[in-house]
Every structure is written in structure tokens, then in C-alpha cells.
Amino acid sequence: MEAIYLKYSHDFRDYTGASQKRRVLYALGQLDLPSISALQDKVLRDPAVFSRLLQFLTIPVSEMFRDPAYFLALRRQVVPVLQTYPSIKIWVAGCSTGEEVFSLAILLEEEGLLARSRIYATDINPTSLEKARQGIFPLEAVRGYTANYQRAGGRRAFSDYYTAAYDAARFDPALCADVIFADHSLATDSVFAETQLVSCRNVLIYFNRQLQDRALGLFHESLCHRGFLGLGAKESIDFSRHAASFDALSRAERIYRKAS
Ligand SMILES: C[S@@+](CC[C@H](N)C(=O)[O-])C[C@H]1O[C@@H](n2cnc3c(N)ncnc32)[C@H](O)[C@@H]1O
């Protein structure tokens, strides 16, 4: 990880040891290499191998309306406050291939907020960001997301939002008209905008306490007065250095509000 940092400036040094070890061992198998030193040698000599390793290290796994109760809580408890702002900025940190971004865009559209919202969707994996920009997802998976959408309080037919062709679903590009997909690392970069909502789900789980604190510090700095923070189902701000800087809005759905 030190070597990767020095060569490529991607900082994985403060990710949790156990899951990182699993991913490196999995990568060895996939890349057909006998040892970690062989992997290190290849990665440092060949940026294309690093690019492949990045796919294993970053876990680009996502789904639309993942944990529907989270999106339902956003709809019921956060949207009414967002409606009071003339313009809204949202940061989806660790957006992966875009499923969370499209879910939020659909929710905002149904609540009449999309036209005055800008979403910053950031990640460290350029391949994932490119997929997210395209807004094309496997049709089979999208059909599976329909139930999530309905449980998240969806108001229309989910198929209204995409066009199916062969085995792919292309989401309406209008949903992403004001989404900025950008490379940004919670490990090395700083805050770039003032936001009303930060949604960072299933990312902190891979970080050690120190890096979680860094990321939560960035979210705190980015959020406006009484702004909202949403985390993943297995994540929390309890025990963090920033615990006292947030109030729990929905502890069950991991939605917090910047303390006044
Ligand atoms: C499991 S996915 C979560 C995707 C989505 N947020 C969700 O909940 O479905 C984790 C994402 O975090 C991204 N990630 C990992 N380290 C990061 C970092 N230092 N800064 C920003 N994103 C990071 C990965 O590239 C990956 O896309």
C-alpha cells in the first residue's frame, strides 16, 4: 500500500486490514500471480495492472434504492427541509457505478426538487465513474430494483425512468443533467462545496478509525448549518471524533444532522 501510494498517489494505507487482505488475496487469484511480491512488482511496473487491482481494492458493488427504508426516511424526514432551500447541493461520496445517484435523482424528481438540485458524485475509481456517467445498467438487475423503489416510497412505475434495449436499461439522461461526476478521494482530497446533504454509504466500512474520522471531518466541513448526513446500514458516527458534532435524525437509517 505504501508502494502504491508513492507510485500512484492512491492512498489505501488506512483501510481496514482484514478486508484489504481478503481483496489482495482475491486479486492474486484473479490475476494468476503466485505471491504478493509478484503482484507488487507487476503493479509498480504496469499502470494497466494497477488499474485492474483498483477494481478489486475498491469493491464497486451497489444497487438502486439499496436499503429502501433509508430512501423512505430521506423522503419523509429530509426532503421537507430541503424544500425550504432555493437551491440544493448534494454530495454522494463513494458513488461507485452510480446506482445511489440515480436513486437520489429519481427521489428528488418525484419530490419536485431535481430542477433546483446539483449532485456532486465522487469516487476514486475512474472505471466506476465512467459507468455511472453512462447511466446504463443490466436490465435483469434493474428489474430487481423495482421492489426496492416501491418500498422506498416510489410514486410511479419504475420503468418510466429507463428505456430497455436488449439486456440493458438506459436511464433518462435528464435525471443527470445537473450531476457532476468527479474523481475525489476521502483519504487525500479536501472539501470542494457547501452542501445540504451528504450521502456516503458503504464506504466508511472499509476505513480504519483514523480515516473514518478524516472523512467525517470533511462531511462536517462541507455541510451547511443543520445539514444532513446519511451513512450505510453498518456504519455510524458513534465512537468517532465527530460524534458530538451530529444529532441522530434517524438512528435506524443512519441519518444524522449537523449539530447547531
Ligand atoms: C461498496 S461501494 C458503495 C457504493 C454506493 N455508495 C452504495 O452504497 O451502493 C464503495 C465505493 O467507495 C469507493 N471508495 C473507496 N475508497 C474511497 C475513497 N478514499 N474516496 C472516495 N471513494 C472511495 C469505492 O471506489 C467504491 O466505489
Closest CA to 19 of 201, 200, 207, 186: 207
Query: Does the beta carbon of 11 sit less than 6 angstroms from any atom of ligand 1?
Result: no
- Identify the pLDDT of residue 76: 98
Mean pLDDT of 96-116: 98
Q: Specify which residues 162 forms β-bridges with.
A: 171
Q: What is the pLDDT of residues 5-44, one digit of tens each?
A: 999 999 999 999 888 999 999 999 999 999 999 999 999 9
User: For the domain 68-258, what is the CATH code?
Assistant: 3.40.50.150
Residues 122 and 92: beta-carbon distance below 8 Å? yes
Query: Does the beta carbon of 254 sit less than 6 angstroms from any atom of ligand 1?
Result: no
Strands 246-250 and 255-258: antiparallel
CA–CA separation, 60 vs 52, rounded Å? 12
One-letter identity of residue 171: F
More confident residue, 85 or 18: 85
Query: In percent, how much of the chain has pLDDT > 90?
Result: 98
Q: Which residue's CA is minimally distant from atom 13 of ligand 1?
A: 94
Domain with CATH 3.40.50.150 in the chain: 68-258
Average pLDDT across the chain, whole number: 97
Q: Which residue's CA is minimally distant from atom 10 of ligand 1?
A: 203
Query: Does the beta carbon of 97 sit less than 6 angstroms from any atom of ligand 1?
Result: no
Mean pLDDT of 90-104: 98
Mean pLDDT of 38-61: 95
Opening angle at CA 201, ends 36 and 119, nearest 5: 115
Report CA(223)–ligand 1 centroid distance (Å).
19
